[in-house]
Amino acid sequence: MAPPVTLAGLNASPKIHMSPPVPISHHFTVDVEEHFQVAAFEQHVSRSQWDDLPSRVGRGVRLLLELLAEHGSHATFFILSWVAERQPGLVREIAEAGHEIASHGTDHQRVTQLTPDAFRQSLRDSKLILEDVSGHSVIGYRAPSFSITRDVDWALDVLIEAGYRYDSSLYPVRRNGYGYLGGQRDPYVVNRAAGTLDEFPPATVQWGSAVLPAGGGAYFRHLPYTLVRSALRDAEARGVPGTFYIHPWELDPEQPRVRVPYRTHLRHYGGLTRTVPRLRKLLGTFRFQSIAQTLAAAHRRRVLGSSGESVALADER
């Protein structure tokens, strides 16, 4: 039986029990595509050849599933529906491991190459196929090669109209062929004529007045590991999650080599053996979850956002 509570007893222990601050969970994201589908190869490998080339995507995905399971982390997998149609079992393996299924479009055409109608079709088709195969609803999208630029920002309206709740394509950096210059660095709500969309930009670092890409991919393999670590640490200091990305082919040093110009070769094949050890270090250092999990947490906390606030996450829609 509990001892009776007395005023004296209460006064004697004036401790205030505060729950510790919840540590930030960052976003681990994977763009699921074959090694030959990257934009840098489009002049060298035609779409008509794709079906004749050996598939390697399953190796990288399964290795990622193992690494995530080892660290108890969850991720968002942005998947090409081209892959889902040919390997539905792989999509189900990802979903059954508790990860989020999201769209990377149909066949890796950049948004800058598409008309609004063709983009709408790609969004609808990929959503339908991925939902059909996985049995889960698809609410997130990442454009191939981060190709939603300021010139094609009509794409944000089309995304909203097609039933997507969030996007992770607006990389606020200046790069050749992609980049959403002047975009916000932290998660925010995009207000458009068609409605609102939550945006989760890939992680960046600020260097003087310049914003530099640090979210993953080639930057993760070629530049010092500390770049991505700083980007995530800085995001934590601002109280927001950072978004990291990687491709299955980046964990596959044995992939067959495609004959491409030297610079492309270096960018695509350089540092492939570094990916797995660096991922182990990253997963051992930070907490990660899927973007859908962050949205669900925001929903529970009723965090309301508005355009222009860098920490905002939308809710209640």
Pick out residues in 243-302 that bind Zn ion (CB under 5 A): none
Look-up: residue for tokens 């492939």?
272
**Cβ-based neighbour number of residue 2 at 10 Å:** 4
- Give Dmax (Cα) for the chain: 82
Stretch that binds Zn ion, among 25-33, 66-74, 83-91, 296-304 (CB under 5 A): 25-33
Q: How far apart are CA 196 and CA 178, in angstroms?
A: 23
Residue 60 engages Zn ion in binding (rule: CB under 5 A) = no
Residue closer to Zn ion, measured from CB, 148 or 314? 148
DSSP 8-state symbol, 250: G
Q: Is 31 in the site for Zn ion (CB under 5 A)?
A: yes
- Residue (143 or 295) nearer to Zn ion, CB: 143
Cβ 168 to Zn ion, closest distance in Å? Answer: 12
The smaller minimum CB distance to Zn ion, of residues 147 and 293, is found at 147
- Neighbouring CB atoms inside 10 A of 138's CB total 24
What's the gap between Cα 93 and its chain centre? 19
Please report whether residue 215 would count as binding Zn ion according to CB under 5 A: no
Binding segment (CB under 5 A) for Zn ion, from list 58-66, 121-129, 143-151, 293-301: 143-151
Size of the site for Zn ion (CB under 5 A): 3
- Sole window of 30-38, 129-137, 217-225, 280-288 interacting with Zn ion (rule: CB under 5 A): 30-38
Q: Who contacts 55 (Cβ-Cβ below 8 Å, separation ≥6)?
A: 34, 86, 87
How far apart CA 198 and CA 164 sit, in angstroms, is: 9
Residue in 140, 144, 217, 242 binding Zn ion, rule: CB under 5 A: 144
Nearer to Zn ion, 32 or 240 (CB): 32
Closest distance between Zn ion and the C-beta of residue 104, in Å?
A: 6
Question: Cα–Cα distance between 184 and 172 in angstroms, integer?
Answer: 6
- Residue 180 to residue 173: CA distance in whole angstroms: 6
Q: How far is CA 215 from the centre of its chain?
A: 9
Burial of 115 (0-12, 13-18, 19+ CB in 10 A): exposed
Task: Determine the interface stretch with Zn ion among 7-15, 40-48, 140-148, 205-213 (rule: CB under 5 A).
Answer: 140-148
Shortest distance, CB of residue 268 to Zn ion, whole angstroms?
A: 12
Write the DSSP assignment of 193-246 as a string of letters. Answer: TTEEEEE-PPPEEEETTEEEE-SBHHHHHHS-THHHHHHHHHHHHTTS--EEEE
Q: Which residue is nearest to Zn ion (CB)?
A: 31
| Binding segment (CB under 5 A) for Zn ion, from list 23-31, 165-173, 193-201, 298-306 | 23-31
Residues engaged in binding Zn ion (CB under 5 A):
31, 33, 144
